[in-house]
A = this chain, B = another copy of it.
Amino acid sequence: MSKKVIPADSTTEEKIKEAGRKVFIRKGYAGTTTREIADEAGLTHALVNYYFRSKDKLFDIVTQEQVAAFFGKIYPIVNNEDTNLDEKVKGLINYYTEILIEEPGMVFFISSEMQNRPERIAKNMEDNQGLAKAVIARQLHEARPDIHPMQLMMCILGMIIFPYISRGVFQRSMGISENDIIKMLKERAEFLPALIKAMLSN
């Protein structure tokens, strides 16, 4: 997930998969050509089909793994019996701050996948029984019994993730530099827990 530098000694298959991941996230499925993936990997485009049979199959694998990695890291946080709500919130904030500064396209990628071809991702979600049964849902219900835990979850995740989606808008709107907006995004990690706490206090 983090800045994946392709190791020089990685196999051709790994190179292609990683190149595919990068380009797919950057340009989306339709905007990506197998030749560009091959270029990114420093190979011929015939090899994409040699190792993965088709662009579609490669995309499937990349998406599958990406989503699995994404949610795989979230569930341990929201399902931890030993942390309270505040600690979970901080855990989520740290996680998203880390990966989304590195790879801002990730949210687009996953959520557009989720909208366009939900079946493909369903499997990974079921394995984890979803957010609905997570420990955090119970804790949210305790904090605010008047509002459905999933609604609160949307609020929390929205506050954390949305800025990475709307980055460009805010950057333009405020006329500030790339570096400054990244600084702002990192700053958020500090005061967000308090804001969320205030929101959840009945």
Contacts and interface: CB of A to CB of B under 8 A. Distances in A.
Contact of A173 (B125, B160, B171): B125
A130 B175 contact: yes
Contact of A111 (B125, B168, B198): B168
A171 B157 CA distance: 15
Contacts of A168: 111, 114-115, 118
Contacts of A110: 169
How many copies of this kind of chain does the complex include? 2
Given A161-B158, A172-B125, A115 B167 contact: yes
A187 interface: yes
21 contacts: A28-B28, A104-B115, A105-B115, A108-B111, A111-B166, A114-B166, A114-B172, A118-B172, A125-B169, A130-B173, A130-B174, A132-B174, A153-B170, A155-B192, A157-B162, A158-B166, A159-B159, A162-B162, A165-B165, A196-B199, A198-B198
Contacts of A174: 130-132, 150
Interface of A: 27-31, 104-105, 107-108, 110-112, 114-115, 118, 121-122, 125, 130-132, 146-148, 150-151, 153-155, 157-163, 165-175, 184, 187-188, 191-192, 195-196, 198-199, 201
Contact of A158 (B111, B115, B130, B159): B159
